[in-house]
Structure 1
Amino acid sequence: MRRTQLENYLNELLAIDQINDYCPNGLQIEGRDSISTIVTGVTASQALIDAAVQAKADALLVHHGYFWKGEPAAIVGMKKRRIQTLLQQDLNLFGYHLPLDVHPELGNNAQLARLMGWNNVGPLSGIKPTGVVMTSELNSELSAESLAEQLESILQRALTCFVPTEQPIKRVAWCTGGGQGYIDAAADAGCDAFITGEVSEQTVHSAREQGIAFYAAGHHATERYGIKALGEHLAERFDLTHHFIDIDNPA
């Protein structure tokens, strides 16, 4: 397919014009015009770029791309080496951040719910963009420890932080990635547990004092699944070759 065809389809599918983000969403580095093989991964690190080149990809699709607000504008050092490889290999780079987090089917939050088997899923009201924090009523109550075991088993990594409570878990809220700042909104909404990728010092105090179980399950680990689902969707719809490449990251 043509690069512009893929770009237009992705931009419309993920509704990038409806979301104010911290980085440009869409085509970030222009490469070759014809695309038959795509590689997806979480972050456009040098290791992922090199792996995409090895896989003979025409386009690399990531959740964490480049050109974030507030970062230095100069293309030097690590940024220069990454972009130089992309340009030398004529490899397209597409990045989708918040639009991928919140997509109701392919998004990181939706995919985490699918993996965990959570039903009755909906957005936490009052949080923008809609879908950046999700909630679910569990089919049956769990102990805080049982939910921790489920997360570790399904995500295949140890929790970074776990703050338990004695009360049973019935209603959960979650935000993949660096969403620890939403714990207070989850507590205010009456949720029994809040799950995200990262933890800050104050997060633990918020959890303890508000009686809400807290789980930091890894930024990378909670955000592997949206970009993978997006690649699988594109491969099926457009008969593309797709490789999801997971560059391990303990954070």
Structure 2
Amino acid sequence: MKLHTINTGFFKLDGGAMFGVVPKAIWQKTNPADANNMCTWAMRSLLIEDGNQLTLIDTGIGDKQDDKFFSHFYLHGDDSIGKSLNNLGFSKADITDVFLTHLHFDHVGGAIIRNGENFITAFNNANYWSNEKHWQWAVEPNAREKASFLKENIIPIQESGQLKFVEESEDILWRENVNISFAYGHTDAMMLPKISYKGRTIVYVADLLPSVGHLPLPYVMAYDMFPLKTLTEKQLFLEEAVEKNYILFLEHDPINECCTLQRTEKGIRVAETFKLSDL
């Protein structure tokens, strides 16, 4: 098995929304904002190369939306899924599985492309993996979360016949060397892959921990549907991560790809940061 970082570009989100009740005077020390209070975030996917299987975890925001949509998010950087795959000697047609931690637009947008007036899957040879509970949550969204679940990102997956569901169960073995945990605070039934790799466990933490700046327990996004649930899940996960010496793969941290954790007088904090390729 080999793991590869797939960079899909950067975007900006409001710093206050990303840090919830934490004052700007505190969070801007780790994530400085621009004049519009917007902070830069990565959209970092992960590719699992395992024999004949090529599994892509999350797909970034994509490029099919109109200029008005993208104007809200200030996309920048030279990376894309296609370019990152090509740099590794792969193409979109080589992907056998697309694993979607959840269906918010910055995680699933690159899974679908525009074909004239229609929307089709970007990875035509792949199975697309979600879970039934989150899928239903996304196709019948609440008013607060509706703007994150775009029909053009979701419905074409089902129409393609490529949609598969992971069984919802605690720390379920999805396939050899990959277990799945579930989290319910950010959105209902978000999936967190745990990958056994070179004698370590790498956890793709998705939006449970967007960045190293979110490690302190009160640093919970205003985007989270159930912030007190996130608080509990985050505390339990951090304790487990320290105890078992997990490596965290950070999807949104603009600088750090991976980190390990340690206990300090202030709580659980970063021990080391490094690139996945350094393992």
TM-score w.r.t. length of structure 1: 0.32
**Larger strand proportion of the pair:** 2
Q: Which structure's relative contact order is higher, taking Cα pairs within 8 Å and 6+ residues apart?
A: 1
Mark the structure with the bigger radius of gyration: 1
